[in-house]
Amino acid sequence: MTPTLADYLLVSGILFTIGLTGVMLRRNIIIIFMGLELMLNASNLSLVAFSRYHLTAVGLPNYSGQVLVFFIITVAAAEVAVGLAIIVALYRARQTTHVEDLNSMKF
């Protein structure tokens, strides 16, 4: 049995939900960060799946989706570098990575 587009999208949706749940519920900022990455990769997965299943007239995959994935991976790498740098700076300043302790920007 070959997997259909719906199977890929289901997996992608599950991954996205796991990532979102992590972002929402976990308190450690590094875990939240990992959740974010998971959400990005879930969207990558669905993009690749769309690319594979929407063939062009001559039978080739639609490469636009795959190119977009490369862009997301590139940008995500840069984002990880910046994000981790911020977290390190934050830890040096506040000695914590717990988001509940980082609430001084409120009214």
Q: Least distance from C-beta 32 to other proteins, angstroms?
A: 8
Whole-angstrom distance, CA of residue 79 vs CA of residue 92: 20
Out of 11, 23, 80, 87, the only residue in the binding site for other proteins (CB under 8 A) is 23
Please identify, among the stretches 21-29, 46-54, 68-76, 85-93, the one whose residues bind other proteins according to the rule CB under 8 A: 21-29
CB 26 within 8 A of CB 32: yes
Q: Measured from the CB atom, is 25 or 89 closer to other proteins? A: 25
Interaction of residue 104 with other proteins, rule CB under 8 A: yes
Whole-angstrom distance, CA of residue 27 vs CA of residue 98: 6
Of 104, 81, 106, nearest in space to 93 by CA = 104
Facing residues of 98 across strands?
28
Q: Which of residues 35-94 bind other proteins (CB under 8 A)?
A: none
Residue with tokens 């911020």: 86
Interaction of residue 34 with other proteins, rule CB under 8 A: no
Question: Which residues bind to other proteins, rule: CB under 8 A?
Answer: 20, 23-25, 32, 99-100, 102-107
